[in-house]
A and B are shown apart, each in its own frame.
Chain A
Amino acid sequence: KAGVTQTPRYLIKTRGQQVTLSCSPISGHRSVSWYQQTPGQGLQFLFEYFSETQRNKGNFPGRFSGRQFSNSRSEMNVSTLELGDSALYLCASSLMGRNEQYFGPGTRLTVT
Chain B
Amino acid sequence: GQQVMQIPQYQHVQEGEDFTTYCNSSTTLSNIQWYKQRPGGHPVFLIQLVKSGEVKKQKRLTFQFGEAKKNSSLHITATQTTDVGTYFCAGQNTDKLIFGTGTRLQVFP
Contacts and interface: CB of A to CB of B under 8 A. Distances in A.
Contacts of A59: 1
B42 interface: yes
A56 B90 CA distance: 16
B45 A100 contact: yes
A6 B85 CA distance: 22
A100 B33 CA distance: 7
Contacts of B96: 45, 56
A103 B43 contact: yes
Interface stretch (B58-66, B68-76, B97-105): B97-105
B42 A104 contact: yes
A42 B102 contact: yes
Nearest to B100: A42
Interface string B82-95: 00000010101001
B48 interface: yes
B44 interface: yes
Secondary structure of the B side of the interface? Answer: strand
Contact of B99 (A35, A56, A100, A102): A35
Nearest to B92: A99
Given A100-B48, A103-B44, A106-B42, A45 B97 contact: yes
A103 B42 contact: yes
Interface in A90-111: 90, 92, 99-106
Contact of A42 (B33, B45, B97, B101): B101
Contacts of A100: 33, 45, 48
B52 interface: no
Given A43-B88, A99-B48, A90 B42 contact: yes
Contacts of B33: 99-101
Contacts of B97: 33, 45, 99, 101
Interface of A: 33, 35, 42-45, 55-56, 59, 90, 92, 99-106
Interface of B: 1, 31, 33, 35, 41-45, 48, 88, 90, 92, 95-102
Report, nearest first, the 6 A-B pairs whose CB atoms are least far apart.
A43-B99, A103-B42, A100-B45, A103-B43, A42-B101, A105-B42
